[in-house]
Amino acid sequence: MDNTRRRAYIKEKLQQADHRLRGMDLAKECGVSRQVIVGDMALLRARGMDIISTPRGYYLKKEKKACLRILVCRHDREGTGKELTAIVRAGGIIHDVRVEHEIYGELHGQLEIKSEEEAVSFVRAMQDSGSPLLSDISGGIHTHLVETKTEEEMAQVIHALREIGVLYE
């Protein structure tokens, strides 16, 4: 498959997908390396596709959001699982995490955690890797862009974070 046909194929797959597409799977389907897929995604983004990249795969960003809020939280490494689980149990989707760095300014990481299973998977990966969290560099203070379907669900997310003592107010 040549470059043009491969990128058209990836574009079509992204537009039709109802789940995240793994880079390794796309690479196998197209007979190329994962790094080639990474490059293709960068080119498709440069051409205007709003492609989101997560550790669990690629997907197209949806145009319409119901209710979005930036929530400020503070906790240690052990509080991560409680925080993520509380948000998704209350009906929230955690799009990202952001921290302020004294040299680089705002740093962020894409999360796209939509379920309790994904929250558990993130915590497991965090524990297995031993990698520092972004919030480690900011004394535990960080923000999440959270989406819910309704204002009532957002109020439930906020209440849940207060209940476990991680909402920074």
* 101 Cβ contact list (under 8 Å, min separation 6): 107, 137, 138
CB 72 within 8 A of CB 167: yes
The correct answer on CATH 1.10.10.10 for the domain covering 3-60 is: yes
Examine the pLDDT at 19 and tell me if it is beyond 90. Answer: no
Examine the pLDDT at 153 and tell me if it is beyond 80. Answer: yes
CATH number of 67-163: 3.30.1340.20
Topology agreement, domain 3-60 and domain 67-163:
no
CB 7 within 8 A of CB 13: no
- CB burial readout 150-166, b (16+ within 10 A) else e: eeebbebbbebbeeeeb
Examine the pLDDT at 160 and tell me if it is beyond 90. Answer: yes
pLDDT at residue number 65:
59
The per-residue pLDDT for range 52-108, each reduced to its tens digit, is 888 889 998 876 558 999 999 999 999 999 999 999 999 999 999 999 988 998 999
pLDDT at residue number 140:
93
Of 95, 36, 38, nearest to 61 by C-alpha is: 95
Residue 1 binned pLDDT confidence (cut-offs 50, 70, 90): confident
- Per-domain residue ranges for the chain? 3-60, 67-163
Report the predicted TM-score, pTM, of the whole model to 2 decimal places. 0.68
The residue type of 138 is S
